[in-house]
Chains A and B, each alone.
Chain A
Amino acid sequence: MESFSDDSDAGLPPADYAILCDFLRERTGLSFTEAKRYFVDRRVAARMAAVGARDIRDYMNLLRFQASGEELQRLVNVMTVNETYFFREKYQFDCLVNAALDEVVRGRPPGSRVRIWSAGCSTGEEAYSIAIMLLEHWRRVDDFEIELHASDIDSTVLERAQAGIYEERSLQGLPAHLRAKYFQKVGSAPDRWQIMEELRDSIEFSRVNITDPQQVRAFRGIDVIFCRNLLIYFDDIGRREAASMFHDALAPNGFVCLGHSESMSRMSSLFVPRRFPDAILYQKPAGGTAP
């Protein structure tokens, strides 16, 4: 579509659009095609106006060379899709507590660590859902020391995740008794609930770009990685690179859990699909290689 409703929305010329999208892909893994113009143009125009950039070149220079990286972070924050809610695709959490974790801890002495990582946690619902599922349903939860890591590339959603305040829309999938048990109403607001401090404090939130090898390198020996509804925004090679980095981050026999429409077999031969009663997870073989 060439025409836009008003001048402030006038899109970037195709060549500039391509340069910007290449840059974003390189820095974030997010792949924007011409078909995503409706999404990209407006957001970039708003950011350019906010910083007073004269033209796209001016703005690209800021993105590339600003020492603090602040504007790049701001742009990233508006370019991500952060849709999420409690107990989304709950069957995967069922799979975690009914089968996968028992396999992970087999042969491990009580008291040892179990590491779970929500990569692309958005506003935190996924990580808190995991925490609640563990406390409610994993019968061996008290036998192990469980580390829950949650990370995202978007700094705004991380702040919200840490604050842990949610509205009805996000809480709908959560049974009432669990809301009563783990949340408190915020002040007199009719529709705002905060997750209890103990849970907020038990999750390690950090800003991590999963396409940056240096950043992902900090994650090692992870037992289960949740990376759901994130790789759908990447292109094929980006997905493959992410799969390769998850392979590094996992302990032998560790699992990756992807969104329901995503399949590792299209991204990587390094993993073996494992069909559990509740869900399919992808496992890093103990010897490092898929048979």
Chain B
Amino acid sequence: MALVKAKKNTTTPSEPGPAADPAANPSTGPHTGLTDADPAARRQAARALAQSPAPGAVPALAGRLVVEDDPGVREAILTALVRIGTGEAAAALLPLLDREDAGLRNAVLESVQQMPAAAAAPAVLPLLDHPDSDLRIFAVQLLGAMSHPERLGWLSGVVERDAHVNVCLAAAEALAETGDPAALPSLERLALRFPGDPMVGFSVDAARRRFQGG
């Protein structure tokens, strides 16, 4: 028969006890593991930090993420930061949004979106004042995807005040997606702020129809 049992000590798991305690782990602590030459050790270190975050875990993870080029380790670090899920973790990820690497930027957006809104939102809000309009658009997308009671207010503030039409359009789209008719007055004011812009006209019309129709 072609089916065989695994050779012992190769891939057969040992009988697992109750959930292992990563803090009680090997000779090196998880922080140092993050710079190990072996990617498997780095992934393991990231996961250990997620399971029981030690002080300094967030800067250590974020510091490694910036230089890490193994995709498996990157993902382990990102999931660890999402799992830690504090404002500090969100704030550590956001600066990576201005990296050239689109894959990393998307991964950061997705990761911050998966964090609890209450923790992530305060870290995202300051980005609305960033001089770079691309970063303001990311901030709008992040806030738009959060289920947070103040979302409408933040997005309305953007459409009423942001100087850059693309940022306003991103916020208008996010507002339309909330489906909340309370967003309509700000959208109307947006149409007045950029009277000649066809995209603005189109987007405000679409929102109007959506709110009135539903």
Chain A contacts to B: CB under 8 angstroms: 27, 68-69, 72-73, 113, 115, 131, 134-135, 141-149, 151, 198-199, 201-204, 206-209, 212-215, 217-222, 236-237, 240-241, 243-244, 247-248, 268-270, 288-290
Contact = CB atoms under 8 A, between A and B. Distances in A.
Among B16, B43, B44, B76, which residue has the most Cβ atoms of chain A within 10 A?
B16
A270 B72 contact: yes
Size class of B's contact patch?
Answer: 35 or more
A145 B4 contact: yes
A212 B75 contact: no
Contact of A206 (B13, B72, B82, B107): B13
Nearest to A199: B3
Contacts of B67: none
Nearest to B71: A289
B212 interface: no
Nearest to A217: B44
Interchain residue pairs A-B with the least CB separation, the first 9? A69-B18, A218-B13, A202-B3, A289-B71, A214-B20, A213-B47, A141-B2, A145-B4, A215-B16
B72 A248 contact: yes
Given A131-B3, A237-B83, A69 B114 contact: no
Interface in B58-80: 70-72, 75-76, 79
A212 B79 contact: no
Given A202-B5, A222-B11, A244 B18 contact: no
Contact of A221 (B3, B11, B16, B76): B11
Interface in B1-55: 1-6, 11-20, 22, 40, 43-44, 47-48, 50-51
A144 B20 CA distance: 35
Contact of B20 (A143, A202, A215): A215
Contact of A146 (B3, B13, B40): B3
B82 A240 contact: yes
Contacts of A248: 40, 43, 72
Interface string B136-165: 000000000000000000000000000000
B15 to A, nearest CB: 7
Contacts of A148: 3
Contacts, number: 118
B103 interface: yes
B3 A207 contact: no
Nearest to A130: B3
Contacts of B75: 240, 243-244, 247, 268-270
A167 B167 CA distance: 61
Contacts of A144: 2
B51 to A, nearest CB: 8
Contacts of B114: 236-237, 240
A206 B12 contact: yes
B73 to A, nearest CB: 10
16 contacts: A131-B3, A135-B1, A143-B2, A206-B12, A206-B13, A213-B22, A214-B16, A218-B11, A218-B13, A241-B50, A241-B79, A244-B76, A269-B75, A270-B71, A288-B71, A289-B71
Nearest to B25: A214
A288 B42 CA distance: 15
Given A149-B11, A206-B13, A288-B72, 14 more contacts: A27-B19, A69-B19, A131-B3, A147-B3, A149-B12, A202-B1, A202-B3, A207-B16, A212-B16, A214-B22, A221-B11, A244-B75, A288-B70, A288-B71
A221 B72 CA distance: 15
Among B3, B4, B11, which residue has the most Cβ atoms of chain A within 10 A?
B3
Contact of A134 (B3, B16, B22, B72): B3
A131 B19 CA distance: 30
